[in-house]
């Protein structure tokens, strides 16, 4: 901070931070979609990105999920490294104050996305919006991993035409989360043989080639 900086300097600094924070909040759903669609299920990085393997393992154990704060702690070094690189590059383009706000927003967004995703596996939905998002996400797991990549928002699935908004989702018995008893928000369990007869698919656990 320059010596003798007055109110105008402080207002400008705060405005820069707020602008950066807003940019991070707006861009987070796109980054979330891009990672899930193009890295975790795509071919970006030639399949050698570590988070891709972790995510495909998650698909094979969708009935359970790592506690979100444990996942955040496990990934904190990588997240902070990526955030630091983004801030450094951003500082060269838009200045340090805007870049600082951007970095804070992206770090918070990562935590929010991780927690939101875990909730869809840990508990039943508690509102109409959650019921819609739970069906949206479980369709990705149980029916077609090529669609519904948004974890907190479906907006970029609609933009990139990968959105499917089902009224109901049939989950194979091996994938059943602990909170699902009977039918909840249009989500229900079907036995393996019934699912195979209805869809013509092989009644087995998914292989990596099935998941992206």
In order, the DSSP letters of 98-131 are: HHHHHHHHHHHHHHHHHHHHHHHHHS---SHHHH
Predicted confidence (pLDDT) at residue 104 exceeds the cutoff of 60:
yes
The pTM of the full predicted model, rounded to 2 decimals, is 0.81
Kindly provide the residue ranges of all beta strands, DSSP E only, lying in the chain, ordered along the sequence: 169-172, 183-184, 187-190
Would strands 169-172 and 187-190 be described as parallel, antiparallel, or unpaired? parallel
Angle between helices 7-34 and 96-122 (to 10 degrees): 40
Question: Bridge-partner residues for 189, per DSSP?
Answer: 171
State percent of the chain over pLDDT 70: 82
Predicted confidence (pLDDT) at residue 65 exceeds the cutoff of 50:
yes
Other Cβ atoms less than 10 A from the Cβ of 69: the count is 12
Would strands 183-184 and 169-172 be described as parallel, antiparallel, or unpaired? unpaired
Name the band, by pLDDT with cuts 50, 70 and 90, for residue 203. Answer: very low
The token pair that represents 150 in the structure block = 């948004």
């Amino acid at each position: 901070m320059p010596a003798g900086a007055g109110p105008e300097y402080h207002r400008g600094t705060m405005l820069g931070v707020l602008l950066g924070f807003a940019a991070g909040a707006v861009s987070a759903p796109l980054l979330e979609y891009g990672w899930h669609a193009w890295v975790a299920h795509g071919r970006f990085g030639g399949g050698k990105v570590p988070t891709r393997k972790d995510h495909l393992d998650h698909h094979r154990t969708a009935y359970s999920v790592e506690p979100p704060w444990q996942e955040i702690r496990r990934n904190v070094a990588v997240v902070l490294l990526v955030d630091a690189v983004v801030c450094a590059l951003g500082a060269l383009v838009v200045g340090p104050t805007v870049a600082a706000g951007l970095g804070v927003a992206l770090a918070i967004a990562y935590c929010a996305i991780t927690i939101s995703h875990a909730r869809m596996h840990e508990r039943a939905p508690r509102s109409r919006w959650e019921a819609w998002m739970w069906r949206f996400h479980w369709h990705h797991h149980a029916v077609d991993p090529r669609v519904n990549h948004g974890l907190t928002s479906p907006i970029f699935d609609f933009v990139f035409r990968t959105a499917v908004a089902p009224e109901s989702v049939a989950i194979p018995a091996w994938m059943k989360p602990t909170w699902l008893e009977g039918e909840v928000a249009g989500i229900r369990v079907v036995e393996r043989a019934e699912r195979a007869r209805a869809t013509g698919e092989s009644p087995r656990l998914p292989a990596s080639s099935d998941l992206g």
